[in-house]
Structure 1
Amino acid sequence: MTDFSDYLPYAFALIVAIPFLVLLRQFVYTYINLKNQEIKLLSLKSNSENKTHSYERMTLFLERIKPSNLILKFDKDLAAHEFVFLTEKTISEEFDYNSSQQLYITKNSWQNIVNSKNAIIDLLHKTYESLDNHPNLDEFKTIFIMNYMNDNDYISATIEDLRREILIIA
């Protein structure tokens, strides 16, 4: 017959170790869950920051292409057709630079931004074509601003839409 007293220290150690191992397992499981939640929150925060940054950049772009800001650019010694060319080039380059922001902006807002950009470029060309053969730059700028003011202020409307959307996101 076997003497169970030889196994008593092992049994005692096992009885003491089992609750400790269960608690350790529960701690590790809880720790992993908390870390996963933290990672999710950080990714949501990062995504929200990207969206906010995108709305800021596109608002700045729209402000820059307002006719009142465009007429302040470039040398006053330019001919009107040179001003039109350089302004269109600048708008297109800045738009291309910011085009990746469409990933974070709603489809409707992005379309409004594209439409605003195209409308300004069209207005530049229509204003130039409506004037005499060689208008001076000051005359061109004045008529350009007046044509924009006579039309709907689509840039401000687009900026206001962006402002409303960012309030929903934030």
Structure 2
Amino acid sequence: MTTDTSSIVLLVLLSAIPALLVGAAMYLLTQRYLERDYRKKLLEVRLKNSEIILPIRLQAYERIILFLERITPSNLLIRVSPAGLTATEYQAHLLQEIRAEYTHNLSQQLYMSEVAWQQVKRAKEDVVSMINQNYQHLPEKARGTDLAKKVLETVLHNEVDPTSQALQLLKRELHEIF
């Protein structure tokens, strides 16, 4: 190789280095811009979703709180009258009412924390268990009013409603959201 050729190659290399540096800098700046733009758009989408989801979540918590209030033994026994029913019929009617309420609100778990939903399920199971246990302690020919009295006595004796813990947890979660 001649001196002229090597100086031309050296000159080309020296000219290419600044162009490569400028190209690399442009690439990095473009990447940062695109990344920042992506994060901004993602934040906008999340904010828009929040505007839509937040009212739905609030409604879900309201519905589940209403469900818990409706299956609270004192409220349930007032709402579902034992008049004219045997204890067996009344027990079946109460359990059917609880199942119907639960099934109606089952989809609300999508908008709740797993801990809250498990507490709701436990509250429902505790109410069902309380009704079943009190039913088992009744004589064979007992009336529905006897079952209602026995359930209320259990609530008064325990001094805690089986739905109260779930209600408190839901209210705490709502206060965290707002």
Q: Which TM-score bucket, shorter chain as reference? A: 0.7 to 0.9
Equivalence for 2:162: 154
In the TM superposition, 1:84-163 aligns within 5 A as 84-151=91-158, 152-163=160-171
Gap change, CA 1:48 and 1:162, over 3 Å in 2: same
Q: Comparing 72-81 with 105-114, which one deviates more in the overlay? A: 72-81
Distance (whole Å) between structure 1 residues aligned to residue 43 and residue 173 of structure 2: 27
Q: What does the per-residue CA deviation read over 1:132-168, in whole Å, with 9 as the maximum and x for residues that have no partner?
A: 1121222221111111232332312211110010110
Distance (whole Å) between structure 1 residues aligned to residue 169 and residue 82 of structure 2: 33
Distance (whole Å) between structure 1 residues aligned to residue 43 and residue 120 of structure 2: 36
Distance (whole Å) between structure 2 residues aligned to residue 153 and residue 67 of structure 1: 8
Give the superposed CA RMSD. 2.0
Amino acid at match of 2:119: N
Structure 2 unaligned segments of length 5 or more: list them. Answer: 1-38
SS at match of 1:118: helix
Identity of aligned residues (%): 28
- TM-score, normalised to structure 2, is 0.71
2:58 maps to 1:52 = yes
Distance (whole Å) between structure 1 residues aligned to residue 143 and residue 101 of structure 2: 26
How many pairs were matched up?
138
SS at match of 1:127: helix
Distance (whole Å) between structure 2 residues aligned to residue 111 and residue 166 of structure 1: 16
Amino acid at match of 1:108: V
Amino acid at match of 1:66: T
Amino acid at match of 1:63: E
SS at match of 1:71: helix
Kept in 1, the 8 Å contact 2:73–2:161? The answer is: no
- TM-score, normalised to structure 1, is 0.74
SS at match of 1:132: coil
2:61 maps to 1:65 = no
Shift of 1:34: 9.0
Structure 1 unaligned segments of length 5 or more: list them. Answer: 1-32
Distance (whole Å) between structure 2 residues aligned to residue 59 and residue 114 of structure 1: 12
Kept in 1, the 8 Å contact 2:68–2:167? The answer is: yes
SS at match of 1:153: coil
Distance (whole Å) between structure 1 residues aligned to residue 162 and residue 116 of structure 2: 12
Distance (whole Å) between structure 2 residues aligned to residue 80 and residue 93 of structure 1: 20
